[in-house]
């Protein structure tokens, strides 16, 4: 009995009461209108409103039901919205109206046609959504990166649905010229291979992280960019959100820095060469050949390998300068340096001692082997001809091997032997070992 009573009570509810209760629990503001003819003109009469609509409009339903928008002067019910003009639309579903600001809240309204005589309007509170959208648009358009949103489907070219101001200003096209066009149709990339690579990466990984590419600006200038792209879902539809960060200035600075470093390296090499090389012959200068000799003496003492030294001097070189001039003398010294280098090993070290004298360090070379080198040098210089007049010159050499003496005594030994070669008639070498100091 109690069940039947409850059942009778439920079945006693009319459809209108059920609909009214349903409308009152929804959060959006809903109103239903019936079209009426007033003096052969269409007007719209309220036939139902929910509680939310009452609160939003500031009128309770007793003030609204039965009244018409036109005749009863309710067209100004919501400031900024011409209800009469809006309700006159005959579409099944109207496009959304511009956002309405009512109090501190923001509303989006829609119109639904129930039948030929009845319409329903719905007002949604989109304050939070609109605030988020405003923030997104602010960030989206104020970003310094080139940002875009395109549709995404595998094996299809994405269509631009939104781009930011930076992208438009960079490539010189307006949003209207970009929206609705394929991302391949907008020629952003200097390298056509980049297009295929982007499609491959986004299809495979559903994202792209810092892919460097080159694009163009409106002046046709190349811009170096880093592309980041990711597939996002909005209302169950996939889109590609992409950003291109302009790194042109960074690459320019990087290139400029590389060029500066190259110039600095070349300058350091030049300074190093100037510090160690003789300007005229390109051989080691006196200071550096002595530094090398110091190291080789230390190695010879430590490891016990033989070390020999030569002092070389061109014969009667003063007469060459007197007869042919110092410029020709310089030429002769340069050519002599090349002759000497071509007759020694890469491991040997040759330096200009001063004037027309040279110092030659022969590592891992005993006195007997050094004598062979000395004779080869003497023959090579004697056979050479200098200048158009085929001038001939000879060279004298003093040779000694290291026996544990100091560097200065070692050099003095070679110099003394050179003097002996000069005294013996020039164009020859004199070789000798000092008494062992070991």
Residues that are catalytic: 356
Beta carbons of 207 and 231 less than 8 angstroms apart? yes
| Length of the chain, in residues | 438
Question: Cα–chain-centroid distance for residue 233?
Answer: 29
Which H helix or E strand runs over 106?
A: strand 105-113
CA-only gyration radius of the chain, Å: 49
Give the span between the Cα atoms of 199 and 156, in whole angstroms: 9
In the beta sheet, which residues pair with residue 32?
A: 48, 120
Give the span between the Cα atoms of 344 and 310, in whole angstroms: 12
Look up residue 299 and give its DSSP letter.
Answer: H
Which H helix or E strand runs over 3?
A: helix 2-11
Show the DSSP H helices in 14-69 as ranges: 15-25, 51-57, 61-64
Look up residue 372 and give its DSSP letter.
Answer: H
Beta carbons of 336 and 314 less than 8 angstroms apart? yes
Give the span between the Cα atoms of 348 and 308, in whole angstroms: 10
- Rama region for 158: left / alpha / beta (φ>0; ψ in -120 to 50; rest): beta
Which residues contact residue 11 at a Cβ distance below 8 angstroms, ignoring those fewer than 6 apart? none
Pairing of strands 429-433, 395-401: parallel
Give the span between the Cα atoms of 74 and 82, in whole angstroms: 10
- Extract the tokens encoding 52: 């939310």
In which order are the strands placed within the sheet that holds 105-113?
A: 41-49, 29-38, 118-125, 105-113, 100-102
């Amino acid at each position: 009995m109690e069940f039947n009573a409850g059942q009778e009570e439920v079945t006693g509810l009319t459809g209108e009461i059920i609909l009214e209760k349903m409308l009152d629990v929804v959060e959006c503001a809903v109103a239903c209108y019936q079209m009426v003819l007033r003096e052969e003109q269409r007007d719209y009469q309220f036939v139902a409103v929910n509680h939310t609509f009452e609160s939003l409009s500031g009128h309770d339903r007793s003030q609204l039901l039965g009244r018409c928008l036109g005749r009863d002067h309710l067209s100004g019910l919501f400031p900024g919205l011409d209800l009469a003009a809006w309700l006159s639309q005959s579409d099944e579903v109207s496009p959304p109206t511009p956002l309405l600001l009512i109090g501190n809240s923001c509303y989006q309204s829609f119109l639904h046609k129930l039948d030929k005589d009845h319409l329903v309007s719905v007002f949604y509170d989109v304050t939070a959504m609109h605030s988020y959208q405003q923030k997104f648009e602010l960030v989206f358009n104020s970003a310094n990166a080139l940002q875009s949103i395109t549709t995404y489907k595998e094996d299809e070219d994405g269509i631009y649905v939104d781009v930011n101001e930076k992208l438009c200003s960079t490539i010189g096209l307006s949003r209207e010229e970009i929206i609705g066009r394929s991302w391949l149709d907008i020629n952003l990339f200097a390298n056509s291979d980049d297009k295929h690579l982007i499609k491959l990466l986004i299809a495979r990984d559903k994202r792209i992280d810092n892919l460097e590419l080159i694009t163009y600006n409106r002046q046709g200038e190349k811009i170096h960019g880093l592309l980041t792209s990711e597939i996002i879902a909005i209302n169950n539809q996939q889109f590609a959100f992409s950003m291109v960060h302009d790194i042109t200035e960074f690459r320019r600075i990087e290139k400029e820095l590389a060029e500066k470093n190259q110039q600095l390296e070349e300058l350091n090499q030049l300074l190093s060469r100037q510090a160690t090389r003789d300007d005229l012959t390109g051989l080691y200068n006196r200071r550096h050949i002595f530094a090398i000799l110091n190291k080789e003496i230390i190695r010879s003492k430590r490891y016990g390998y033989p070390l020999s030294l030569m002092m070389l001097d061109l014969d009667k070189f003063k007469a060459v300068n007197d007869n042919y001039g110092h410029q020709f003398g310089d030429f002769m010294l340069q050519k002599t340096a090349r002759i000497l280098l071509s007759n020694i090993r890469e491991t040997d070290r040759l330096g200009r001692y001063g004037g027309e004298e040279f110092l030659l360090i022969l590592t891992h070379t005993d006195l007997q082997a050094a004598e062979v080198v000395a004779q080869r040098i003497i023959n090579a210089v004697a056979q050479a001809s200098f200048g158009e007049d085929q001038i001939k010159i000879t060279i004298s050499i003093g040779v000694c091997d290291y026996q544990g003496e100091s560097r200065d005594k070692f050099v003095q030994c070679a110099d003394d032997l050179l003097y002996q070669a000069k005294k013996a008639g020039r164009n020859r070498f004199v070789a000798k070992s000092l008494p062992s100091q070991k």
